[in-house]
Amino acid sequence: MDILKLYVFFVSIVLNDCANILYSIPFTSKSHYIMLRPIGLELARRGHNVTVITPFREKDPPANYHEVMVDLKEIWETIGMERPNVFTMVDLSSEEFLNKILWDGGLAFTEVALNSIDVQKFLKADHKFDIVVGEQFFQEAFYSLAHKYQAPLVLVTTSGNYMRCNIAMRNPLQLSTVVADYLIVKDPKSFWGRFRNAYYVMYEFFWWKYWYLPMQEALIPKYIPNLPEPVPRLYDVQSNVSLLLINSHFSFEGPVAYLPNIVEVGGLHLSKSDSELPKDFQKILDNAKYGVVYVNFGSNVRSSELPLAKKQAFLKVFSELKQTVIWKWEDDTLTNIPSNIVIRKWLPQKEILAHPNIKVFIAHGGLIGMQEAIFNGVPIMGIPIYADQYNNLLDAENIGFGKMLQYHDINEESLIRSLNDMISNASYGRKAKEISRRFKDRPMTALDTAIFWIEYVIRNNGADYMKNPALSMSWIESNMLDVYGFVIVVDLVIIYVFIKMVKFLLGIGKKSVTEKKKRN
């Protein structure tokens, strides 16, 4: 492993000239930023000149790490609505979540980000970049920056494998085994599960390609100046991405067939730690004689917004545990807190989950938090609310290191039953440790893998040879539909001729028998 790391370092420093890199990660979700930030920082540490479009400022970045600040607004502000109680999203269908939150919010947020003062100042200045790296999310207008600077485009996903990207990049679809992102389906391998998956993939792709992308395209001439003509369609830009880094890993989410320019880098934010556990938490965790139950529903879902009955159920169950409970609680309204419960408005999750005294992680099942638990071998009791959370927790439950509790089923009885099972049944911990070992068992860390392939694209001028050659063919040709159609037509002609011949021969035989009877 050490030799391989030295090799990667040698390749990046000695063989690779320092490049000018534009890193576009404008989305204002803290969890997205936690996962994406190591790429820009590591590229700068390796000598590249990195410019980052971001809503979050680093405390002490390298001198060659330059920030272009996006206005820090929550997605709700951009839509023009008050922040809802996110727990209410549990009742949205996959299509409703896509339409009301991701598409409406994506369009509004993209416009706010492009129109930010620093971003506009940056876009109007004269720059040159060797490569553009960005987040693969619902802000596709930013992808046109690769065309503006005539540079290869690399994209990074934060929530796994997007099916629309597979279609655009001509990666083989595997609808029987790969569930669409953000689709809730309880039995994915059943007939109706596979049917639902296929329907949702086609539904999302159709509206994304023919409605959402044109809406994103309308923002480009409005906010991005000095674009070389002709400006390509965003679907073509998506299809011709040089490299797609997927936030997944087969050890947890199962094997998927990928083209050479689609690379799994799940857990890349866990490759290096640049912070330590605060002393007060170190003491709490070290002194937890019976271990710790850690509760955190992420950066968007707030425990403080739980309905009163569910809040009281949690408090009652936690108060009866002998374990210490560390709970992310976002306001000052919680009173009469039991002595074994520690609450904070924000928690250093990566560092807490790394402590050996953590027994169970109660979470909403977001992929970033799931990977942090997997990396540290911590069992998960999950309560899915929206997006990919159900699928992530279903995988954990099927593998055996997690248990899912539906939001509407939360009460004292269900909580104590689920918690007691996870704490007392050692199989969850053993399976979590097994998954942790195989998640980490790689030739390079996820971050080193991401950096290697980004620099590979730089060294090889976009590495067009890694793309599917089917991109130069029509959809009918690349899927062999013309060949299959020809074979079917030929087969039908042969069958038709055969039937005609049989009828002809039967007719001759019948006529011969009739004439023979007449003669007799």
Q: Looking at residue 106, what is its pLDDT?
A: 92
> Could you tell me the fold of the domain covering 279-440?
Rossmann fold (3.40.50)
pLDDT class of 2 with cuts at 50, 70, 90: low
Q: Could you tell me if 438 and 232 are in contact, meaning their C-beta atoms sit under 8 angstroms apart?
A: no
> Where is pLDDT greater, at 508 or 192?
192
The predicted model scores a pTM of 0.90
Q: Looking at residue 252, what is its pLDDT?
A: 92
Phi/psi region, residue 387 (left: phi>0; alpha: psi -120 to 50; beta: rest), is left
Angle at 115 between CA 113 and CA 121, to 5 degrees: 110
Q: Could you tell me if 303 and 297 are in contact, meaning their C-beta atoms sit under 8 angstroms apart?
A: yes
Can you name the residues that pair with 381 across neighbouring β-strands? Answer: 362, 403
> Could you tell me the fold of the domain covering 2-271+445-469?
Rossmann fold (3.40.50)
Work out the average pLDDT over 471-477.
Answer: 90
For 491, residues 6+ apart whose C-beta sits below 8 A from its C-beta are none
Q: Looking at residue 174, what is its pLDDT?
A: 92
| 273 has pLDDT over 90 | no
Work out the average pLDDT over 306-324.
Answer: 94
In tens, the pLDDT along 157-171 reads 998 889 999 999 999
Same CATH topology for 2-271+445-469 and 279-440: the answer is yes
DSSP labels, 325-363: EEEE--SS---S--TTEEEESS--HHHHHTSTTEEEEEE
Residue 491 buriedness (CB in 10 A; 0-12 / 13-18 / 19+): exposed
Structure tokens at 379: 């069992």
Q: List phi, psi (to 5°) of 358.
A: -75, 120
| 420 has pLDDT over 60 | yes
In tens, the pLDDT along 93-114 reads 999 999 988 999 999 999 999 9
Structure tokens at 471: 């991109």
Q: Looking at residue 8, what is its pLDDT?
A: 47
Residue 229 exposure: Cα atoms within 13 Å on the Cβ side: 1
In tens, the pLDDT along 120-161 reads 999 999 999 999 999 999 999 999 999 999 999 999 999 888
| 82 has pLDDT over 90 | no
Can you name the residues that pair with 66 across neighbouring β-strands? Answer: 51
| 9 has pLDDT over 60 | no
Neighbours of 344 (CB within 10 A): 15
Q: Rg for the chain (alpha carbons), in Å?
A: 28
In tens, the pLDDT along 317-366 reads 999 999 999 999 998 888 889 999 999 998 999 999 999 999 999 999 99
Q: What is the dihedral of CA 309, 311, 317, 319, to 10 degrees?
A: -130
> Where is pLDDT greater, at 43 or 505?
43
Q: Closest by alpha carbon to 55, among 98, 10, 13, 116?
A: 116
In tens, the pLDDT along 158-213 reads 988 899 999 999 999 899 999 998 999 999 999 999 999 999 999 999 999 999 99
Structure tokens at 452: 């290697």
| 513 has pLDDT over 70 | no
Distances (CA, A) of 260 to 171, 372, 468, 470: 10, 27, 9, 14
User: What residue spans define the domains of the chain?
Assistant: 2-271+445-469, 279-440, 483-519
Q: Closest by alpha carbon to 248, among 429, 381, 370?
A: 370
Work out the average pLDDT over 431-450.
Answer: 96
Structure tokens at 140: 């596709």
> Where is pLDDT greater, at 224 or 302?
224
> Where is pLDDT greater, at 13 or 239?
239
